[in-house]
Structure 1
Amino acid sequence: MQRIILLLLLITFIGGSAHSQTSKLPNNYNVIWKSQSKNSFESMPLGGGDIGLNVWVENDELLFYVGQSGTFDENNQMLKHGRVRVSSEPNLFKDGVRFIQELKLNEGYILIKSQNAEGQIEFKLWVDVFKPVIHIEAVSEEPVTLHAQYESWRLQDVEIPLGLRHACFSYTSFPGTVITYKDSISTQKGSVQWFHRNKADKLLYDFIVEQQGLNDVKKQIPNTQLGRTFGGTLYGEGMVSNGTDTGKYISTDYKAWKIKSEKPQKKSHIKLALNTGQYGKLDEWYAALNNTIKEARLDKKAFQNTVDWWKNYWNKSYILLNHEQSNQEDTLWQVGRNYQLFRYMLGCNAYGEYPSKFNGSLFTVDPVFTRKKYDWTPDFRAWGGGSFTAQNQRLVYWPMLKSGDFDLMIPQFKYYTRALSAAEARTKVYWNHEGACFTEQLENFGLPFAGGWGFESGARKRNIDTEFGVQTNKHVSYHYVNQLEFSLMMLDYYEFTRKDISSYLPFIKSSLVFFDQHYQYRFNQKTGETLDKNDKLVIFPSTAAEMYKIAKNPSDIIAALTTILNRMEKLPKKYVSKEERAYYKGYKNRVPKIPFDTKKGNKVIKPAESWKHVANKEIPELYPVFPYGIYGVHKPDDIGVAINTFKYGESNEKRNFTECWSQVGIFAARLGLVEEAAHLVKDKLKDADNRFPAFWGPGPDWIPDVDHGGAGMINLQEMLVQTYGDSIFLLPAWPKDWDVKFKLHAPNQTCIEVELKDGKLVQLNVSPKKAKNRIRIPDWVN
C-alpha cells in the first residue's frame, strides 16, 4: 500500500483558477473514416440536447437513424423517429476518388466530404443543443439537386412475435397478443410530417396497474404514456415534394416520402424539427412543433451556440493519455480517446426528459447486427425501452460527478422522483407501511415490469406461492437496494455542487424509511418481534445485489444504509429536521454489522450472513468499497480486509467477468491496486470490436453497451482522484510510468487540473485555491 502524504508548499500551483483554463481535445481524437460503411452497424454517433443520430454513408448515399429521449409507445418500447436518406444529383459519392467522414469532437458535428470526376460535395451534420432540430448543410463546387427522403417501417399495425418482445420488456414471454401500432405520415408542400400518438386504450400502464392489484391507488401512479406523442417534420428551403417510394433495408420493409431541390444549387440546408412529449390534444403537439420550426428559422446563431456548448462541455473536464502522438495501435492512447468519445455520447442526451439507457442509449441500429436471432425492425433493443434496470443504469451516471456533468444527472434523478408516489402507493397496498419500494427492473411509471411480476399463464407464469407484492422472477425478487445507491448519488451531487436538493430529499427519505419499516414488518411476521435480540434489523428475505438470493443481512444493503444514514445526519438543518436527525441516529444503531468470513486464512467480507442460492456475475461483498466508501485508500488501517476480499472472497471467480456492468476495475482502483486497475481499465476502454471505437458490446446487454463505458470511465477516474470527507487523494492507483493530463471535479465545488510527466507533477491547478490544503499525493510523485 503506497504511503499518502499531505500536499504542502512543495508543489507549485500554476496558472491560478482551474476554471479559468480553456481546453481543447487533441484533433487526433476525432474519428475519421476514409471509406463508406457497409451498413448501419458501421455508423457514427451524432447528437445534442436530447437527440441521437447514427450517421453513415452506404452505397453512395448518406443515411441516419433518428432517436430521441422519451419516444415511448403503448408497449413502452423506445421507438426511432425513422431513417433519413440524402443523395445528390449528380451523385458525387459514386466512384469517388476521395471520401472522408469525420466526427469533430470539439465542435460536436460530423463533416463528410466526397469527390469524384463530376465534382466535390461537403455535408455538415449537426444537432441544435437548445432546440430539437437536426441540420444537414450541403455545399458543392457546382450546382446539384439534393434529394432527401424520410423512411418509416411503421406503416401498419404489426403483431410482435413471442420471441421478439424484449424491446417491450414487460411483455417478454407474455402469452397474449402484442402490437406495435402504425404512425401517421403525410406529405406537405415541400416537406414530410410524421407522428406517433399512443392509443389511450392500449397502454401497458393500465395492464400493469391491474396485473399488480393497484387499481384502487391508480391516481397515485403517474401515467407516463397517456397522450405521449412524438414525431417531426423534414423540410428545407427551396425543396419540393417528390413522391414516394418503397424498399427494404436489412430485414425491414419501408416506405419513403421524398423531397428534392426545386432547382440545382451550390448550397442546401435541410432540417428535421422534432417534438416529443405528453399532450392532451394533438393540436397542442402540432402547435409546439410549428413553434420549433419558426424558432429554427429565426435563429441565426444556432450553430455557433451549439459549438460553444460543446466547447464548454470539453472545458469542464477531460482525461488525456499519450495524446501528443497519434498511435492508434497504442491501447493506452485508445483508453484516453475512448473516454472522450463515450463522454461525447453521454453529452448527446444532456437535456433529455429521460436518462440515457444503459442498453444502447439513443444509438441502437438494426438488431440483427447485435444478435442474429433478433431479426426485427430498427426499433428493437434487448432489455426494453421505457423499462430500466437499476444495476446497469447507476454506472452510466456515477462518472458524471467527477467529470462535472452535473446537469446531465438531472434526468436520472427525475426518473425516480417522478415515480415516487407509485413506489409509496404499492408499499402501502402490499405491506401497509410507509416508504418507497422501487424494484430492480421497473417501468418509467414506477412499477415492476410485468414479466418480473408474472402472468396468469405461459413461460413466465406467476407462482401461486409468491407473496402478493413480490416479483415471481427469482433473479429480481427482493432486489430493492439500488434506490439506496441512487440516494447516495443524489447526496454526492449535493456534496460536489452545493446546489439545492430539496426536490430529491423526499425520495431519499422514503427510500430509507422503506428498509427500516419493511424489515421490522418482515421480522414481526415471523417472530412477533421487530428487532433481533441485539436490537438490530434482520434484513430478510433479501438479496446481495442480483447474486446471492434469499439472503439474510446482505453486505451491500448494510453498507448502503450505514453510509447514507451518516450522510443524512450531517445535512444542513434546512434538509433534515431535529426530529428526523434523531430518527436517523436511532436507525443507524439498528443497522446490523457487515458480516465477515475467513478464506485461506484471510479475513474477508461476506456477501451476506447467509443465502440459499447464487445467480449472475457480481461481487456484492465489495460494494462497501464502491460505491459506499467504507473501505478504501482513505482508511489505510482497515483496507486489508477489503483487499483480502478482492483476492480471496466468496465471489472471487467473478473477477474474470470484466465487461458490461462489471466494476472489478473500480474496486481495484478504490483499493489502490495499481497493476490490477491499470490492466482492467485497458480492458474496459480499449477500442471496441465495432467500427466506432466506443460502441462496445453486446456482452449481456446491447450495442452500444453504455454501462460498460460508464464503468470504464469510473475506473479511470478513481485511479486519478478519490475523495473522502474533505480529503482529495491524487493518483491513488496510478502507474508511475503513465503520463496523463486531466481535469476532474471534487466535492465542495472543487476543480483539479493536473499534468503528470515522467513521474513529475508538471502542473497542478486547484480551484478554489484554498482547496490545495485538502489534496494528498503519493510519495513517489516528484
Structure 2
Amino acid sequence: MKNTICHYLLIGIALILGLAQCQQSNVHSNISNTDVVWETPSENSLGAMPAGNGDIGISLWVEKNGDLLFYVSKTDAWSENGRLLKLNKIRLTLSPNPFKVGNTFLQKLVVKDGLIFIEGGAKEDKTSINVWVDANHPVIELDIKSLKPISAKITTEPWRVNKRVITNTTELHSAYGIHGKGASKVIVEKDSILNSIDNNLVWLHRNNRSIWKENLKLQGLEEYTKNAIDPILHNTFGGLVRSNQLVKTSPTTLKTTNPVNNISASVHILTLNSSTEEKWLTQINQNANSIELKSRKDRLKNHKNWWQSFWKQSYIHVSTQNESEKERVFNISRGYNLQRYMNACSGRGNSPIKFNGSIFTVDTEDLVGEFQGLNADYRRWGGAYWWQNTRLPYWSMLESGDFELMKPLFKMYKDALPIRKFATKTYYNHEGAFFPETMFFWGNYVDANYGRDRSKLPLGMTENLFIRYYWQGGLEVSLMMLDYYSFTKDEDFLNETLLPVVTEIIHFFDKHWERDENGKILFDPAMALETYNKAINPLPEIVGIHKVCSELLKLPTSSTSSLQKKQWQRLISELPEIPLGEVDGKKVLAPAHEYSGKQNVENPELYAIFPYRVYGMGKPDLELARRTFEKRAVKGTGGWQQNAIKAAILGLTEEASKLTSTNFNTKNNAYRFPTMWGPNFDWTPDQDHGSVALIALQRMLLQYDEDQILLFPAWPKDWDVDFKLFSPDNTTIEASFKNGKIENLNVNPKSKKQNIKIITSTSE
C-alpha cells in the first residue's frame, strides 16, 4: 500500500513538474518570437543592435566589409559638463573575414538569453560569435569560434582625442542648459589612452573640472557647496580590453600572433570617483582579475539564467486569428517585449534611464538631414532629466514586476533631497522640498532654464516660462513611490526612501500657498503643467495632493505619526474643488479654475485619469471623464503623448487599441532595429514612445486601485493574449484570452482572487 501511495505521489509530482516545465517552455517559446534576425550586414551605425546588463550597454553592428563594431556606454558616464557620454567604439576584424558581403550571414538578438549571435562563412569555415554584456558583472564578452583557424584584430576607436570647443549650433543642443545666451564656451575634454606595459588596451575619461559649483552659485545655493561633495568632479569612466589569444601591438590594438580556432575577449568597464588615474587603473585591473577567476562557462550560464528569469517574471504575448491584422498585432507583441528588453538593458545602473536616447545613441554620420554628421555623444536636450519624460518608462515597471529597475530613479530623488530642502528654504523661507521639472541628476535646474541674467528675476524664479511654477513632478514621483510600496510591501524602502522624500514634498505643497477666505489652498501663482503658464488652482495639483495624501493615510501606523496623519487629512480638506468647464454645453474637467498663456500641447485636465486615477472604469463620473477625453484639445499619439494610456483607463477599447497599435507600429526608417523610435519631441531611441505603449497595453489588460483589480477593461475581443502581470500586495495574475473568452486565470496568492473583477468586451 505504501509503495502504491509513493508511486502515485511520484506521478503527481512528475505531472506538476512537467506542467511547470511546459509553462516555462511556452514562455521562452513565445519570447523567442521576439528575436530580431538579420541576414545581411548593416550599412553603418544606424543599423546597430542594442544589448546591455542594466548599467553597461552596447550598440553593435557588422558592416559590409565584415568588421564587427560596437559603441560602449554606461549609465553614469557623466562628463565635466554634465553630459552623459559614450565610453568608446570597438572594432573586431577577422581574417579571412567570414562576414563580408557575398558570404552567408546571420545576426540574431537572442532575446531569451540576452545576447547577440553572429554567424557567417561557408560550411567548411563557418565562424560564429556570441556577444553578451554579463548580467552579473561589469564586462562585455566576445566568444569567437571558427571551424578553420583565423586571425583577429581588436582596435579601440576613440573620438575625443583632442580638447575642442563645440561650435556647431546643432551639436550645442547636446549641452542643453549649459550653452546659450550668456554661457561660456562648451569645451569637450579629451580622453586618456594609457600605454601600460601589460597586455591590455586601456582608456579613460576623467573630469578634472566640473560645472557643479558654478551651477549652484548661479542659483543662489553657493552655501550648500561648503559641506557637499561635487558629484561629477573626478568622475572617471573607461575600459580595459584583453584576450589570452591576442597581444598588444599599440595602445589601441590587439592582434593574434598565429591563426586560431577559438578566441575570447573581454571589455571590462568601470566608473569611479577617483582622485588619480592610477587609482582607477588599479581598481579596474582588480575587477578584471576577480571576474576572470570565475568560470566563463558558469558566468554565461548565470547570465542566461538572469534573462530567462526576467522573461518568466512577467510577460504579454499578443496574437490574432484575423489574417489582415496579424502583422500589426505581431508588432504590438514584439514592440512590448523589445521595449521592456531595452529598459532591462539600461535600468539597473547608478543613474536613471535617459528618456532622450537611453544608453543606445549612435553617431549620425550617415543620417540624412538636420542632424547629420554628429558623434555618438550627441542627444537632443542634453544631460538633464525632464520629469514628464523620465517617468514614463517607470510607470510601466510596476505591472511588469520590474521593481529592481525602478530603484535608480528613486535613489536619484532621495540623493537630491538635501539640496532641494536647502533650495526651498533659501528661496521661499519655508520647510519642505520642491523638485524642478528639468534638473541635472544632482537636483538643480540647468543654467539656461534658471536664467543667467538675474537682474530682473528674484532669487529662485526661473527665466524659462515653461517650468517657472512647474513642481508637479514631486507629487507624481510621490505616488509612484507609494504604488511601489503598495506592490512590494518593502518596509526598508518605506522608511528609508518613501517617507523621507514624500513627507518633504507634501510639506512644500502645504506651506507654499496662502488659504482663501474659505480656508482652501489658493494655488496662485501656479501653472497647469507646461501648457498654461498662468493658472489659478490647476487640476493636476488638486488631484495630485488628494491622491498622494489619501495613499499616505493607508500606510502602516507603525511607520507614520498622528501628527503626519492630521496634516494629510487637513490638506485633503483644504483642497479646492476639481475645476470644471463646458464644451458644447456639456460639463467637462478643466485644466484649472482660471488659465491662460497656452504654450505647449498637453491636456492637463486628463491628469485626473492618469497618473492620478480619480476617474476610470468602476469609478464615479466615468461619463464626465470620457466626455473630457473626447473633447480634449490634443488628440495625437507618439513620443510622450499619453492619450493611449488614458483611453485604456477609461475603458475605451477601440481608441486604446488604435493608439497603442499606432505607437507599436511606428518605425524610424533611418534605423534598422525595430524599437529605435523617435526622435519625436526628443531623441532616438525615444524611451517615451515605447513606454507609453507599454503602459497602455498593460492597462488594457489590468487596472488596479484601492482594493480592486480589473481584468480586460479595454481589451479587443479579436486579440488573443497570454499574460502574467503584477498588482498590489505582491500579487501576480496569469491569464489567457482566446477567441473572445478567458481560458484560464491563475491568481497568486489565491486569496486575492476575490478582489478581481473581469470586464471584457463581451460582458460590457
Once residues 324 and 437 of structure 2 are traced to their aligned partners in structure 1, the CA distance between those partners, rounded to angstroms, is 42
1:113–1:698: structure 2 CA closer, same or farther, 3 Å change rule? Answer: same
Name 2:373's counterpart in structure 1. Answer: 375
Once residues 680 and 370 of structure 1 are traced to their aligned partners in structure 2, the CA distance between those partners, rounded to angstroms, is 29
1:732–1:111: structure 2 CA closer, same or farther, 3 Å change rule? Answer: same
Residues 56-88 of structure 1 deviation map (CA, whole Å, 9 limit, x = unaligned)? 011311000001110001001111111000011
- Comparing 675-684 with 288-297, greater Cα deviation is found at 288-297
Alpha carbons 1:96, 1:115 under 8 Å: kept = no
1:707–1:122: structure 2 CA closer, same or farther, 3 Å change rule? Answer: same
Shift of the alpha carbon at 1:116? 4.3
Name 2:190's counterpart in structure 1. Answer: 182
Name 2:11's counterpart in structure 1. Answer: none
| Structure 2 alignment gaps of length 5 or more | 1-14
Q: Choose from 709, 730, 735 the match for 1:728.
A: 709
Name 2:601's counterpart in structure 1. Answer: 617
Name 1:263's counterpart in structure 2. Answer: 258
Shift of the alpha carbon at 1:329? 6.7
Q: Choose from 131, 134, 138 the match for 1:132.
A: 138
1:396–1:714: structure 2 CA closer, same or farther, 3 Å change rule? Answer: same
Alpha carbons 1:684, 1:709 under 8 Å: kept = yes
Once residues 751 and 643 of structure 1 are traced to their aligned partners in structure 2, the CA distance between those partners, rounded to angstroms, is 29
In structure 1, give the amino acid aligned to 2:176: F
1:15–1:570: structure 2 CA closer, same or farther, 3 Å change rule? Answer: farther
TM alignment of 1:90-101, pairs within 5 A: 90-101=96-107
Name 1:664's counterpart in structure 2. Answer: 643
Name 1:298's counterpart in structure 2. Answer: 293
2:40 is the counterpart of 1:35: yes
Once residues 262 and 421 of structure 1 are traced to their aligned partners in structure 2, the CA distance between those partners, rounded to angstroms, is 56
1:549–1:131: structure 2 CA closer, same or farther, 3 Å change rule? Answer: same
1:277–1:468: structure 2 CA closer, same or farther, 3 Å change rule? Answer: same
Shift of the alpha carbon at 1:324? 9.7
Alpha carbons 2:179, 2:186 under 8 Å: kept = no
TM alignment of 1:539-550, pairs within 5 A: 539-550=523-534
Give the TM-score normalised by the residue count of structure 2: 0.93
Residues 104-147 of structure 1 deviation map (CA, whole Å, 9 limit, x = unaligned)? 00000000011148822111000111111000111011111111
2:477 is the counterpart of 1:482: no
- For 2:86, what is the secondary structure of its paired residue? coil
2:87 is the counterpart of 1:107: no
- Comparing 771-780 with 756-765, greater Cα deviation is found at 771-780
What is the number of equivalent residue pairs in this alignment?
732
Identity among equivalent positions (%) equals 36
Alpha carbons 2:321, 2:718 under 8 Å: kept = no
Q: Choose from 199, 210, 214 the match for 1:203.
A: 210
- For 1:71, what is the secondary structure of its paired residue? strand
Name 1:420's counterpart in structure 2. Answer: 417
In structure 2, give the amino acid aligned to 1:196: H
2:749 is the counterpart of 1:768: yes
Name 2:8's counterpart in structure 1. Answer: none
- Comparing 771-780 with 711-720, greater Cα deviation is found at 771-780
Shift of the alpha carbon at 1:282? 3.5
1:222–1:718: structure 2 CA closer, same or farther, 3 Å change rule? Answer: farther
Name 1:516's counterpart in structure 2. Answer: 510
Name 1:225's counterpart in structure 2. Answer: 232
Name 1:685's counterpart in structure 2. Answer: 664
Once residues 644 and 221 of structure 2 are traced to their aligned partners in structure 1, the CA distance between those partners, rounded to angstroms, is 42
- For 1:171, what is the secondary structure of its paired residue? coil
In structure 2, give the amino acid aligned to 1:483: G
Once residues 265 and 162 of structure 1 are traced to their aligned partners in structure 2, the CA distance between those partners, rounded to angstroms, is 46
2:580 is the counterpart of 1:596: yes
Q: Choose from 618, 642, 651 the match for 2:625.
A: 642
Once residues 273 and 327 of structure 1 are traced to their aligned partners in structure 2, the CA distance between those partners, rounded to angstroms, is 48
Name 2:7's counterpart in structure 1. Answer: none
Name 1:119's counterpart in structure 2. Answer: 125
In structure 2, give the amino acid aligned to 1:654: V
1:642–1:780: structure 2 CA closer, same or farther, 3 Å change rule? Answer: closer
Once residues 356 and 369 of structure 2 are traced to their aligned partners in structure 1, the CA distance between those partners, rounded to angstroms, is 13
TM alignment of 1:708-723, pairs within 5 A: 708-723=689-704
| Structure 1 alignment gaps of length 5 or more | 1-13, 245-256, 457-461, 521-530
More helix by share: 2
In structure 1, give the amino acid aligned to 2:331: Q
Shift of the alpha carbon at 1:230? 0.4
- Comparing 368-377 with 413-422, greater Cα deviation is found at 368-377
Name 2:317's counterpart in structure 1. Answer: 320
Q: Choose from 533, 538, 542 the match for 1:554.
A: 538
- Comparing 309-318 with 578-587, greater Cα deviation is found at 578-587
TM alignment of 1:31-110, pairs within 5 A: 31-58=36-63, 59-110=65-116
Residues 529-551 of structure 1 deviation map (CA, whole Å, 9 limit, x = unaligned)? xx101101111211111111121
Name 1:738's counterpart in structure 2. Answer: 719
1:602–1:19: structure 2 CA closer, same or farther, 3 Å change rule? Answer: farther
Give the TM-score normalised by the residue count of structure 1: 0.91
Once residues 667 and 131 of structure 2 are traced to their aligned partners in structure 1, the CA distance between those partners, rounded to angstroms, is 24
TM alignment of 1:225-624, pairs within 5 A: 225-243=232-250, 257-300=252-295, 301-322=298-319, 330-367=327-364, 369=367, 372-373=370-371, 375-385=373-383, 387-456=384-453, 464-500=455-491, 501-504=494-497, 505-520=499-514, 531-624=515-608
1:330–1:620: structure 2 CA closer, same or farther, 3 Å change rule? Answer: same
In structure 2, give the amino acid aligned to 1:29: T
Once residues 326 and 106 of structure 2 are traced to their aligned partners in structure 1, the CA distance between those partners, rounded to angstroms, is 21
Once residues 337 and 117 of structure 1 are traced to their aligned partners in structure 2, the CA distance between those partners, rounded to angstroms, is 32
Once residues 325 and 80 of structure 2 are traced to their aligned partners in structure 1, the CA distance between those partners, rounded to angstroms, is 45
- RMSD over equivalenced CA pairs, Å: 2.1
- For 2:310, what is the secondary structure of its paired residue? helix
Once residues 326 and 262 of structure 1 are traced to their aligned partners in structure 2, the CA distance between those partners, rounded to angstroms, is 56
Structure possessing the higher relative contact order (Cα contacts under 8 Å, 6 or more residues apart): 1
Name 1:759's counterpart in structure 2. Answer: 740
Residues 214-247 of structure 1 deviation map (CA, whole Å, 9 limit, x = unaligned)? 1122246552212211011011112112337xxx
Alpha carbons 2:175, 2:186 under 8 Å: kept = no
In structure 1, give the amino acid aligned to 2:738: K
Shift of the alpha carbon at 1:779? 5.8
Alpha carbons 2:105, 2:118 under 8 Å: kept = yes
- For 2:126, what is the secondary structure of its paired residue? strand
Alpha carbons 2:31, 2:111 under 8 Å: kept = no
Once residues 261 and 74 of structure 1 are traced to their aligned partners in structure 2, the CA distance between those partners, rounded to angstroms, is 37
In structure 1, give the amino acid aligned to 2:67: E
Alpha carbons 2:648, 2:714 under 8 Å: kept = yes
In structure 2, give the amino acid aligned to 1:330: E
Alpha carbons 1:728, 1:775 under 8 Å: kept = yes
Shift of the alpha carbon at 1:325? 11
2:660 is the counterpart of 1:654: no
In structure 1, give the amino acid aligned to 2:114: G
Alpha carbons 2:715, 2:760 under 8 Å: kept = no
Shift of the alpha carbon at 1:96? 3.3
Alpha carbons 2:35, 2:110 under 8 Å: kept = yes
